[in-house]
Amino acid sequence: MIDITIAPPQPPHLERGLDTFEQQLRELPAFRALLRAVEVRCYAELPLPRPVLDLGCGDGHFASVAFPQRLDVGLDPWWGPLQEARQHPAHALLNHAAGARMPYPAAAFATVVSNSVLEHIPQVEPVLAEVARVLQPGGGFYFCVPGPNFRRFLSMGRALDAVGLHGPAEAYRRLFDRISRHRYYDDAAGWQQRLEHAGLRLERWWPYFSARALAALEWGHPLGLPTVLVKKLVGRWLLVPTNWNLALTAALLRPYYQEPLPDQGAYLFFVARKPN
């Protein structure tokens, strides 16, 4: 484990005059900005007793926008993103360690958050067991993952299925699995079983991100390829993050950001708790 202590002042929750969607759009590829902005809304009304662990904190960008105060600890197994996280004053302390071997004593945290992380972990059960171990009795665990509808909602897959090309449709879905690095598409019952096996109780869950929103994310991947080059060249995703440059993109994507929670969503958000 390597600790990186962060000492800058508390970050502002949002830049003056910007809402969450606009701020994310200025700092991330458009498809990712849309998804992350919707996820910020999921956390808005949840209590966040401290200390808080951000499991799979990555580069710290999401926490810097989603939470009004710095979180206590961010943990990630990847050294590169943690170095970037030092530029976002979103965590008081950053730890380089694996989620299946967290370097904390039992009952160290009142809250654990994990945003779009668990679906990437090959063996997720040991990580959930560690979450249960480091949570205080009564502590909350908030996380989100893609659900079974993610693959079903992919527009190209649906189009190929519609004309009887089921083999190419499944090949396309497998390609998107690899691009997204998704290993799980469990439904709520599947995650509830995993949580209960780890000693956690599922309190509630809800779907988010409609089929139309996922189509916007899906087609945003190829359209966002130039941002990868910009990131490598100048260290940020957007070369010109200004209102005039982003106006059309914002107008096209904002309806998906503002849409109410759907009855069927590509992603699932969970609120779990460690029993007292």
Q: Does residue 32 or residue 51 have the better pLDDT?
A: 51
| Cβ 155 vs Cβ 176: under 8 Å | no
DSSP-derived secondary structure letter, 182: -
Residue 27 confidence (pLDDT):
81
d(CA 224, CA 217): 10
Q: List the one residue out of 209, 208, 214, 207 whose CA is nearest residue 155.
A: 214
Average pLDDT for residues 30-51, to the nearest whole number?
A: 92
Percent of the chain, pLDDT > 90? 70
Q: What mean pLDDT value characterizes the chain? A: 88
Assigned CATH for 2-148+183-273: 3.40.50.150
Q: Where are the domains of the chain?
A: 2-148+183-273
Residue 228 confidence (pLDDT):
61
Reading the block at residue 172, the tokens are 């396309």
When pLDDT is cut at 50, 70 and 90, the band that residue 4 belongs to is very low
d(CA 104, CA 134): 7
Contacts of 181 by beta carbon, 8 Å cutoff, 6+ apart: 120
Query: Which tens digit of pLDDT belongs to each residue from 240-271?
Result: 667 767 888 889 889 999 999 999 999 999 99
Average pLDDT for residues 26-41, to the nearest whole number?
A: 89
Query: Which tens digit of pLDDT belongs to each residue from 150-178?
Result: 999 999 999 999 999 999 999 999 999 99
Torsion of CA 1, 122, 106, 71, to 10 degrees: 70
Lowest mean pLDDT among 19-28, 76-85, 136-145: 19-28
Give the number of residues written for the chain: 276
Omega cis (within 30) before 51: yes
Lowest mean pLDDT among 51-55, 87-91, 173-177: 87-91
First to last CA, the chain: 30
pTM of the model: 0.87
When pLDDT is cut at 50, 70 and 90, the band that residue 64 belongs to is very high
What is the CB-side half-sphere exposure of residue 269 using CA atoms within 13 A? 20
Contacts of 225 by beta carbon, 8 Å cutoff, 6+ apart: none
Residue 132 has pLDDT above 50, yes or no: yes
DSSP-derived secondary structure letter, 119: G
Structural Rg of the chain based on CA atoms: 19
Q: List the one residue out of 209, 150, 158, 215 whose CA is nearest residue 184.
A: 150
Residue 230 confidence (pLDDT):
62
Q: Does residue 32 or residue 234 have the better pLDDT?
A: 32
Token pair 């059309």 is found at 248
